[in-house]
Structure 1
């Protein structure tokens, strides 16, 4: 494995929007990517005092979107339940339940990461679906809310893996 250093990709938002659902599509380039975690941010409800906590139940689904003539990889489900303070960043570890290892996205493949929460989270919003072309991947938004593209995923922490 060539480069095991954790890298961080932060979405450049045009505006913030709240959401309970959303997602991104990643097209992985020349190296496999080991996902470590994603960062999101809890929402500050206007009817509550500062410092309030809520129990968040968040489900993430990481799905392979195969090209034609390729069998899809089975989806990976991540469940995250935790009492979190309002208006705070938090990280969701992306580990397989059975093995405890991080989720690996294979080079030259496309994946979706969808998020579903029982409470609002701040989302990153853009006017267009395609928003970032990185050396390791291309990122595109899946969800629209009030005519804008958005995702509750603010940051990705990952490692590039040379499989040669």
Structure 2
């Protein structure tokens, strides 16, 4: 009888431990989802952009180079807006993490998750209305993400305290 009780307690403890680990993993993933999809914000070198353009076009050298410069610029904008969004979330977290007035400390995780949801919904909405071909296969996903991260940044930044007040 004692063996069965001890075994059940140990199994219950392991089940609880696994539940805690899994829930922590899910929250971490939900807080920072990968929204890159068909975009490549880390392929910023000109030779990478040229290689990508050559994969989807059969253009001459000048057209390929011009398109590659444009793709690299769009990817840089995407990367910049993503960094801006992440920085705004970090600042929001820092400003509100110790505020217990009005339940801000409880609202903060929801607000951060909602911010990611808004960016993802923006991407999904815009991608639902685009059918790119040729070199646009490279530019459209980057442009969409740049705009959606910018939208998310502006929303989060609007909730930040103005430090001059």
Q: Give the TM-score taking structure 2 as reference length.
A: 0.23
Q: Give the TM-score taking structure 1 as reference length.
A: 0.23
Name the structure with the higher helix share. 2
Could you say which structure has the larger radius of gyration?
A: 2
Name the structure with the higher strand share. 1
